A and B are shown apart, each in its own frame.
Chain A
Amino acid sequence: MIEYLVFSIVFIALSLLIPPLMDGIERKIRARVHSRIGPPITQTWYDLLKLFEKELVIPEGGLHIIILSLLYVMLAILTIVFTVSMVLMGYHYVLIVIITLFLFVQAIFTTIPFITSNPFAIIGASREVILALVNEVFFVIILGLYMYFTGSPGLLLGSTSLLRASVILLVITLFVSAYVASGRIPFDIAEAEPELASGALIEFSGPILGIFMYSNFIKRLFVKLVPSMLILLPFISNWLYLLIGSFIMAIILWILYGLIAALLGRTRVDIAPTSILKIYIPFITVSILLYLTGY
């Protein structure tokens, strides 16, 4: 039990500390691609700490926004804490709870900008809703199919039945979903700085902006951690090693996603959903066909 507690604390601490550092590494890599030197990798932490030190300017929408922002950060932290600790425990219904928590996080994120009357925030939020309607719905469908194909709402550690083509294809699709959910270019249309002057985040400053940014970084780690766990699951027979492997893979994915983002431009709200559907529909269809034919 003590061992479990120690590992839980270590992984939870890592989950809460690593995301801003990873963003710092991403910024450094992006700078190299741009042929710049870039800021130190701790810069994102410095930025966050500075934001938390600044005065609290209550945006239009008042207390509602503050309460929802606090709820957003708490849920984001809870999602990652729960994922880490439940995986260590080998909790059976982990996937269902993960889906539920993640959907709540996304719902709050898209709701908050609607409370302000700023047109940029509202347009940004409506873009996020349109994107989420495609991406998050397919995130649920993919995980639902995963549970149906594997016959379990949890993580089947070391099970060779997970090595079927239909299941692997689903997990690969989940990596695409993770990229879209991380809000990187080309899918950063909710913020789209040159178009909407930060869109969904335009009314936030100081500590509230800090809370939002920090929650988004945690969300970015979470969306990489889940598919990493699912892809490593059949090859590892120990929960602790699974978590270590998943963290390493999530870090590699973070760097890879950062590199991809540096090589692309921003999409448009009318193009983005169809672009994603062009990936999801064929992948999921093939996966179902493979499952039906016994693969």
Chain B
Amino acid sequence: MDAISKYIETIKAVEPRADIHVSDDTVYATVSSSKLRDLAKAIYWDMDCFFRTCAGSDERSINGFYALYHIFGDDHNGLNIVLKVYADPNNPTLPSIVDIVPAADWCEMEARDLLGIEFSGRKQYRLILPPYWPKDLYPLRKEVSYDVKPQVIISSEKVGFWDRTSAGVAIPIGPYHPALHEPEYFELYVEGERVVDVRYRGFHVHRGIEKLGESKLTYQQVNFVAERICGICGFEHSVCYAQAIEKAAGIEIPERAKFIRSIVLEVERIHSHLLWIGVAVHLLGYDTGFMHTWRIREHVMIIAEMLTGSRKTYGINLIGGVRKDINEEKKQRVLDVLKIVEKEFTELVKTMVDVPQIMKRLKGTGILPREDARKLSVVGPTARGSGLDRDVRRDLPYAAYSYVDFNVPVYDDGDNLSRFLVRVDEVYESISIIRQLLDQLPQGPIMIEEFDIPEGRMAVSVVEAPRGEDIHFVITGRGKPYRWKVRAPTYQNIPALRVMLRDQPLADAPLTIASIDPCFSCTDRVFIVDKNGYKKRLDPILYRWR
């Protein structure tokens, strides 16, 4: 029996009335909410799947209901399993699966904040919207305009020293802190210099990108907004979105375009890992390592500029292919620069590991045990550093990854050193992948100009970004996506920080936070501009945070 049949059988065994259909690598099942928890347990634990994300959707104009899609991933068999449940439009309440699948915590609360779907059987809290956002105004409901400006009293949010149940002295890390390059807030509770508990408050820079994509932009315009989700791994988001639409619409893009996408994706991975390694050693006080890593990173940015015309945020991706070709001259220059990168990076890593403080402080700190990594479905180097052998480039190959051989580095210790070594190894693997792709680059067009995107199609697209897998879930609409859900890797990895930071020295906390390579702008996705500035008053009626 093949894997797809097994899933169909498992779902039918729990929910005989399930409406199941299969498309590409994804099994879709519409099930009743009363069977959701049993199915989640069967798929997540019995079938040993990871949890990718969940996405709420306002489908009242289509079928009269709200819907929630729980997306699971079977990396061994290269499959996605999507469970869809409907919620009553008058009282949208669904059973929570967070006690069975802890990784579903945030996406359930996101669906509550943005669509007003309540979840029974769990503690609920406001995750994304700011405390002063009006109650009963749900931005992703279709009747809410993308440019709505609610009448709210802007109040300063009191973060930190209240409602404290944990022992120890509270140490605020953020929203502005030298170790954080974006505004996020961690509250570490310490006894002496040992962290005993952690609290996290994020989503300070939520930009409403999904709403924009569903209401204001066209299919092709979304590519460029998707690329701006992140300043480091934007191309991954752009590719992930384009692939989702191509998959939903059944568009087969030219092979040469697939190769170019993979090449640029790997260039971006090398760039991102070099950036991270530099930041990590800077946090350990080794600024010489930081400066030289970033000097080598400059070579990679030269390659990016050569291939795309831009050092970052390339803008070459479209549904149907890419906009920029690679000629023979560029090919040779890329290979020459890669040689320099490989040589200089090897020398630098050798020097770094000889610095005694680097090894001492990386080894045995910020440990994420394999069981916790599995429970929270963490992704990317965070997962691979904790012994989880998962990489969607290999497990659910996309673009041109099925044409190349590469290793997926996995380390078992779960500490900061493991995550460091995963990234170091991946730089070499990416260099090798680019060489293989350039060597096999096929001839032909780079874009198909004419295609049709039918309404009401669904697709899940996954792309292995430097920090882990990006997930874009789309339901097609007329001229634009009806629903576009983005899940960045940091979204999945941040909850693991609580495990990683507990019982660790305070001095290692910034490094441990950095070890998941957090990207908060990817994670957040709304931007609220307060042109009048914050008042110093906290409004008790509008105050809804926890």
Query: Chain A: residues with CB nearer than 8 A to chain B?
Result: 30, 33-36, 119-120, 123, 127, 185-186, 188-189, 192-195, 197, 262-271
Contacts and interface: CB of A to CB of B under 8 A. Distances in A.
Nearest to B285: A266
A189 B507 contact: yes
A193 B295 CA distance: 22
Contact of B286 (A35, A119, A265, A270): A265
Interface in B267-302: 281-289, 291-292, 295
Contacts of A270: 193, 505
- Chain B, interface residues (CB within 8 Å), range: 20 to 34
B357 interface: yes
Contact of B179 (A36, A188, A195, A263): A195
Given A266-B357, A268-B505, A34 B282 contact: no
A35 to B, nearest CB: 6
B507 A264 contact: no
A34 B291 contact: yes
A265 B281 contact: yes
A193 B282 CA distance: 10
Given A119-B170, A263-B355, A194 B193 contact: no
30 contacts: A30-B287, A33-B288, A34-B288, A34-B292, A35-B291, A119-B169, A123-B193, A127-B193, A188-B285, A189-B507, A192-B285, A192-B507, A193-B178, A194-B179, A194-B282, A194-B285, A262-B288, A263-B288, A263-B355, A264-B286, A264-B357, A265-B285, A265-B361, A266-B284, A266-B285, A268-B507, A269-B193, A269-B505, A269-B507, A271-B360
A266 B356 CA distance: 10
Given A188-B285, A263-B288, A266-B361, 16 more contacts: A30-B287, A30-B288, A35-B291, A36-B291, A119-B169, A192-B285, A194-B179, A194-B510, A195-B507, A195-B509, A195-B510, A262-B288, A263-B355, A264-B357, A265-B284, A268-B508
A267 B509 contact: no
B499 interface: no
Nearest to A34: B291
Contacts of B283: 194-195
Nearest to B172: A119
Contacts of B179: 194-195
Interface string B369-387: 0000000000000000000
A192 B509 CA distance: 12
A131 to B, nearest CB: 13
B506 interface: yes
A195 B355 contact: no
A9 B524 CA distance: 62
Contacts of A123: 171, 190, 193, 506
Contacts of B190: 123
Nearest to B358: A265
B357 A265 contact: yes
A82 B507 CA distance: 38
Contacts of B356: 264-265
A176 to B, nearest CB: 15
B178 to A, nearest CB: 5
B330 interface: no
User: Which 7 residue pairs spanning A and B have beta carbons closest together?
Assistant: A266-B285, A265-B357, A34-B291, A265-B286, A265-B284, A194-B283, A268-B507
A186 B357 contact: yes
Most buried by B among A119, A185, A268: A268
A127 B190 CA distance: 14
B216 interface: no
B339 interface: no
A189 B358 CA distance: 15
A125 to B, nearest CB: 13
B12 to A, nearest CB: 54
A31 to B, nearest CB: 9
A193 B177 CA distance: 9
Contacts of B355: 263-265
A268 B361 contact: yes
A185 B510 CA distance: 17
A120 B179 CA distance: 14
Nearest to A188: B285
Contacts of A186: 285, 357
A189 to B, nearest CB: 7
B365 to A, nearest CB: 9
A34 B286 CA distance: 10
A3 B284 CA distance: 50
Contacts of B282: 194
A188 B190 CA distance: 21
Most buried by A among B169, B172, B281, B288: B288
A123 B178 CA distance: 16
Most buried by B among A36, A195, A271: A195
Given A119-B171, A195-B506, A195-B507, A264 B285 contact: yes
Contacts of A30: 287-288
Contacts of B509: 195
Contacts of A120: 171
A220 B355 CA distance: 24
B145 to A, nearest CB: 41
A270 B507 CA distance: 10
A32 to B, nearest CB: 11
Nearest to A130: B193
Contacts of A119: 169-172
A87 B120 CA distance: 80
A192 B193 CA distance: 14
A262 B285 CA distance: 9
A275 to B, nearest CB: 9
A187 B318 CA distance: 52
A240 B40 CA distance: 84
Contacts of A127: 193
Nearest to A267: B357
A1 to B, nearest CB: 49
Nearest to A198: B178
Interface string B338-364: 000000000000000001111011000
